[in-house]
Structure 1
Amino acid sequence: MPIETIAIDDAQAAKILTLREGHFSDMKAKAVRPAKLTKALSAFANADGGELYVGIDEDDGRFSWNGFTDEEAANGHLQVFEQIFPLGDGFRYEFLSNDPSSGLVLHVLILRSGSIRKASDGNVYVRRGAASQLLTTDAQLHQLERDKGITTFEAETVNTAAETITNSVTTIEFMLGLFPLSDPERWMQMQRVIVSGKPTVAGLLLYSDLPQADLPKRSSVKLYRYKTAEAEGRRETLGGQPLTIEGPLYHQIRDSVHLTTELVESISKLDAAGLASISYPQEALHEIITNALIHRDYGIADDVHIRVFDNRIEVESPGRLPGHVSPDNILDERFARNGNIVRLINKFPDAPNKDVGEGLNTAFNAMKKLQLKDPVITELDHSVLVNIRHEKLASPEQMIVEYLQSNPEITNRIVRGLTGIGSENKVKRIFQSLMKRGQIERVPEKKGNLTAYRLVSRE
C-alpha cells in the first residue's frame, strides 16, 4: 500500500522543528543508518509509543528540514523498519512536505506494543525520557514481559506447604459454597493454583488466611490520612499512623473499601450551610480499589497505597498498565495481567469483580451521578495512580451552553451522558429554564424523540 504524502503549511512545519527530543518524540537526520534508528522504534513500542521524524537535521540544538528527495529515496529505511513490525501492526507511516522546505520528512507513528519489539541489532530498548535505554539484564527483560502481560508473577510457585491454602479457614468457607463440592487439593491443582505440590502466588493471595506471611512487602494495603489538600502528603500533615490492611484478597478488598469509606466520612468540609461530611460514591471506591488489587503487578515488592486527602483520594498500585492498555484507552480496552486471580475471585459469593471488565466504567459513571469530576488515571514509572477528586462538575446549564459553543445542537440524551443525570424529565426542566432565560431555543424541524436545542442567535 503506498504511503500517503501530506502537504503541511509553514506554521505546522515550524511546530515540528520546535519539538524537542523527549519521551514521546525523536528527530533524526536521513543520513543516520536505518538500523540505528530501529533502536528508537523498539524503545517507543516497548514503552508508551511515540513519534519519529526522519529528515530533520540538528546543528547546535537547532533543527532544520532536510528530507528525502522523493518517496523511493526512503525505501531503505522502510525495508529495515518493517523488520520491527513484520505484520504491519502497531505503526503508521506518512511523508510530510512543506514548500519551500527541502524534500520529504518521513513521519513514523509508533503505538505502544503488546509484545516486545527488538531493534535490528537483536537488543531490546525502552524509551526513558529522551533516551532509548538498552535492557541488559534478565531482571529488566522479565519486568518488561510482566509490564506487557506476556508473563505474570501470579503463576510463580512459592516454597511453602500446600496445606497453607488447602486447609485454611478461607478455603473451607469457599469450598462450602462451591458447586459441585470437590476435594480442595484436587480442585486447586485443576485450577493451577497448586503446581508441583506448591501453591502459586495467586493461590496464596486467594486462599491463604494470611498471604502476607509468605508474600511480605508485596501483598498489603497501606491506608493514610493526610490533613491537607496540597499536591503531596508530608509527615507533618499525616493524621495518625497509617493502617496496614492484610488478609486474603477477597477480605482485603472488602476491608480496604470499608476503612477508606469510614476515613473519608470523618472529614468535614465547610460549605454555605456549615460543616458537611464529604462523601464519594461507594461503588466508585469499591471498583477502583478492587481494580488496584486484582490487576497490580505482584512481582514488584511494594504495597497498594490509598491516601485520603482533604479534597481527594489517591489509589496507587504497583506496576505499569499491562499490554496495550494506556490511560487514554483504559475504559475501552480489556487486558488482565492476573488472569487466574480475576477468574477465581469471581467464584466467591458477591464477587468484588462481579461485572468483569466494567469496573472502571462503573466508577466513572458513579462519580458523574454525584456531579463529581471523573477520576484521573496517571501511569508512573513503576505504578498506576488513580486520583479521585472531590471537585464538582460545572452546573448542567453551564455544560449545555459550553457544548453548544462548539456544536450546532444538543439533545436530552447527550446532556444525560455529559452530566450523569439519569432522568429525562430533569433534563427537560433544565432546557426549559435555559429557554426562559433566552439562552437556547428548540430546533424547529426536530420534534418528539429527535427534539434538539441550539443557542439563540444574537444577530
Structure 2
Amino acid sequence: MNTVQISLPDALALIERDESPFWDQKSLRSGGAVIQKIAVALANTDGGEFIVGIEDQASGSGISLWSGFPNIEESNFIHQSLTSDIRPPVQYSYEYYLVEGHEGQGLACMVRVEKSGDVHYTAANKVYVRRGASSTEISGQQIVDLQLAKGSMSYEDQSLADYSVAELSTEPELQVFLSTYSPHVNPTDFARRERIGDQQTGQAKVSAALLFSEYPSSVVPKRCAIKISRYETAGEPRREHLAFPPITVDGPLRTLVESALERTTSIVESVSVLEPDGSLVPMKYPPEALKELVVNAVIHRDYNLSDDVHISIFDNRVEVRSLGGLAGQMTLELLFTERTSRNPKVLRLLNRYPNPLNQDIGEGLTTARDKMMAARLKAPRYKVEGNYFIATLPHERLARPEELIMEYLAAHEEITNRTARELTGIQSENTVKEVFYALRNVGKIERVPGRNGNRAAWQKV
C-alpha cells in the first residue's frame, strides 16, 4: 500500500479542483454503491480519477473539507466495491494521501480508473457513463451501442522501442506539465501512475510521446504532425494551386496545436475576401471555431494510420482533415449528442493543463458552430471521405445570396456573376444565374444593356 505525504498547497489544489468528466470527489461516508457508480462510469467512458475523503464544498471551505479515514482498514469497502461488486472488476490503481501538518484529518484514498474494453455493471445491475461532471445511467439500446463501441485497444497504449521512460522524464514539456500538477509527483512516478510507460520494459508509450516529446514524429513510427497548405482556389485542390510548399508543424500536442493555429491564422488573414460594400478585407474566422476543429482532429484521429493532420486554406474556406474517420459507433448524425474517444489518455491528460485546449469536453463542435453563427458565418460542415474525417469552415455569410447582391448594388452600379460568386461563396455559375433571375422576376434588377456573354452584368431597376 502506497501512502504519500503531500503538502498543504497540494491538498488545497485537490479540494478546489473542479469536477469534470475525468475527476470526482467523494466523502468518506459514501457507501459502496456510490463508489461503484463513479468507477463504472469512468471505466465505461474515458477513465479518470476520484478521491474519497473530501467533503462537499457546501459543507465548508479550505483544508477543513479534508476529512479522511482514521486508518487504511476503514477504506476496505472501496476495494471491495471495485474488485467484487462491479462486474467485471475494473482496472484501477490507488494510493493514500496524508497532509503535512494536518495528519489528524485522516487518509484520503485516490483511485485511478482505466478506460476499459468491457461494459461494466454495478452490483445493482446498472450501467453508468460520464457525461460532463456527472455519472449518468444508461439502458436498453444505449448499452448495446456502448458494447459495440468497446473492445479495441487504442494505439496510444502501444510501447515504443526507441523511447524510454527515462528519456520521457527529461522532456521540457513534461516539466511544464508537472509544474502545475497536483499533488506534486516526479516524472517516473507520473508515468507509472498514468500508465503511459511500460513498468516491465521501461519503454514509454505512444500517448507519452504525443503529449510530451519535443519531436513526436522522431519517436512515433507513424506520421503525427500537422501539415498546413494554402491553395489559391475556391475549387478542388491541385498541386498547381499551391501558393508555397506545405508547412509542417511538429511538437508535443499542446504546443503543436498552438503553433499550428498561429501559422494558420496568419495565412488565413493574408487572404482577401470581398465585402458587400465592395471593399477587400482580410479573411477572418472566430478563433474559437478554428481552434476547436484543430483540437478535435489531433485528439480523435487514429494514430495507428500514417498521415499528418492536414489544414488546407482555400480562397473561400478552411478544411481540417484527420485520419481514421469517426471513432467507434459514432456517426455524423450523433456528432452533437454523443461522445466517444479513440485516445482516452491523450484526451484526459490534455485536460489536466491549467488552461486546457479541450476545456469543454464534448462541446467542441457545438462551440465551433455557435461561434460561427455569432459571427454571421455559416456553420461548419462535416463529412467522412474514405478513411478521413473532414471539417470545413466555410467563409460564407448567413445572409441569403439575394440580400448580399442587393447590398452590393446599393454601393455599386453593377455586379457580375464572378463578383456575386466571390461575395456569396457560391461556386456554381449557374446557381448564381438562378439568383439573378429570381431578383429579375420580382423587379429588383435588370441586365445591363449591351453586356452579353462573359461581359454580362446586372444593375438595380
Asked if the contact 2:326–2:389 (Cα under 8 Å) also holds between the matched residues in 1, the reply is: yes
Instruction: Give the drift of 1:199.
Output: 0.8
Match of residue 220, structure 1, among 225, 244, 248: 225
Aligned pairs (5 A) from 1:55-454: 89=141, 150-159=152-161, 160-196=163-199, 197-230=202-235, 232-271=236-275, 272-394=277-399
CA distance in 1, matches of 2:164, 2:222: 20
Name the CA shift for 1:288/1:219 in 2 (closer, same or farther; >3 Å). Answer: same
Name the CA shift for 1:154/1:229 in 2 (closer, same or farther; >3 Å). Answer: same
Query: Aligned with 2:159: secondary structure?
Result: coil
* 1:224-247 residue CA offsets vs partner (Å, 9 max, x unmatched): 0000001x2111110011000000
Instruction: Give the drift of 1:115.
Output: 5.1
CA distance in 1, matches of 2:151, 2:292: 21
Letter aligned with residue 245 of structure 1: V
Query: Aligned with 1:328: secondary structure?
Result: helix
Instruction: Give the drift of 1:391.
Output: 0.7
Name the CA shift for 1:391/1:397 in 2 (closer, same or farther; >3 Å). Answer: closer
Query: Aligned with 1:150: secondary structure?
Result: coil
Q: State the match for 2:422 in structure 1.
A: none
* 1:2-32 residue CA offsets vs partner (Å, 9 max, x unmatched): xxxxxxxxxxxxxxxxxxxxxxxxxxxxxxx
Instruction: Give the drift of 1:150.
Output: 2.8
Name the CA shift for 1:389/1:168 in 2 (closer, same or farther; >3 Å). Answer: same
CA distance in 2, matches of 1:325, 1:168: 35
Instruction: Give the drift of 1:277.
Output: 1.0
CA distance in 1, matches of 2:313, 2:400: 26
Instruction: Give the drift of 1:270.
Output: 2.8
Instruction: Give the drift of 1:273.
Output: 3.5
Letter aligned with residue 175 of structure 1: L
How many pairs are equivalent? 261
Name the CA shift for 1:284/1:384 in 2 (closer, same or farther; >3 Å). Answer: same
How high is the TM-score relative to the length of structure 1? 0.54
Asked if the contact 2:230–2:244 (Cα under 8 Å) also holds between the matched residues in 1, the reply is: yes
Query: Aligned with 2:248: secondary structure?
Result: strand
Letter aligned with residue 258 of structure 1: E
Name the CA shift for 1:266/1:216 in 2 (closer, same or farther; >3 Å). Answer: farther
Letter aligned with residue 339 of structure 1: P
CA distance in 1, matches of 2:280, 2:326: 39
Query: Aligned with 1:377: secondary structure?
Result: strand
Name the CA shift for 1:88/1:350 in 2 (closer, same or farther; >3 Å). Answer: closer
CA distance in 2, matches of 1:115, 1:305: 32
Letter aligned with residue 168 of structure 2: I
Letter aligned with residue 332 of structure 1: T
Query: Aligned with 2:333: secondary structure?
Result: coil
Q: Could you tell me which runs of 5 or more consecutive residues in structure 1 were left unpaired when the two chains were aligned.
A: 1-86, 91-110, 117-144, 399-459
Letter aligned with residue 296 of structure 2: N
CA distance in 1, matches of 2:248, 2:349: 25
Name the CA shift for 1:394/1:363 in 2 (closer, same or farther; >3 Å). Answer: same
Query: Aligned with 2:160: secondary structure?
Result: coil
Instruction: Give the drift of 1:211.
Output: 1.0
Q: State the match for 1:445 in structure 2.
A: none
* 1:201-228 residue CA offsets vs partner (Å, 9 max, x unmatched): 1011111111111125421100000000
How high is the TM-score relative to the length of structure 2? 0.54
Letter aligned with residue 239 of structure 2: R
Instruction: Give the drift of 1:292.
Output: 0.3
* 1:394-413 residue CA offsets vs partner (Å, 9 max, x unmatched): 35999xxxxxxxxxxxxxxx
Name the CA shift for 1:226/1:217 in 2 (closer, same or farther; >3 Å). Answer: farther
% identical equivalent positions: 36
CA distance in 2, matches of 1:217, 1:264: 28
Query: Aligned with 1:255: secondary structure?
Result: helix
CA distance in 1, matches of 2:349, 2:164: 21
Instruction: Give the drift of 1:367.
Output: 0.5
Letter aligned with residue 259 of structure 1: R
Query: Aligned with 1:284: secondary structure?
Result: helix
Query: Aligned with 1:378: secondary structure?
Result: strand
Asked if the contact 2:222–2:303 (Cα under 8 Å) also holds between the matched residues in 1, the reply is: no
CA distance in 2, matches of 1:386, 1:372: 15
Asked if the contact 2:222–2:304 (Cα under 8 Å) also holds between the matched residues in 1, the reply is: no
* 1:413-435 residue CA offsets vs partner (Å, 9 max, x unmatched): xxxxxxxxxxxxxxxxxxxxxxx
Query: Aligned with 1:316: secondary structure?
Result: strand
Letter aligned with residue 154 of structure 2: T
Q: State the match for 1:13 in structure 2.
A: none
Instruction: Give the drift of 1:164.
Output: 2.5
* 1:83-134 residue CA offsets vs partner (Å, 9 max, x unmatched): xxxx9849xxxxxxxxxxxxxxxxxxxx9x6656xxxxxxxxxxxxxxxxxx
Instruction: Give the drift of 1:381.
Output: 2.0
Name the CA shift for 1:204/1:329 in 2 (closer, same or farther; >3 Å). Answer: same
CA distance in 1, matches of 2:169, 2:245: 35
Letter aligned with residue 184 of structure 1: P
Instruction: Give the drift of 1:179.
Output: 1.6
Q: Could you tell me which runs of 5 or more consecutive residues in structure 2 were left unpaired when the two chains were aligned.
A: 1-138, 404-461
Asked if the contact 1:115–1:150 (Cα under 8 Å) also holds between the matched residues in 2, the reply is: no
Letter aligned with residue 332 of structure 2: P
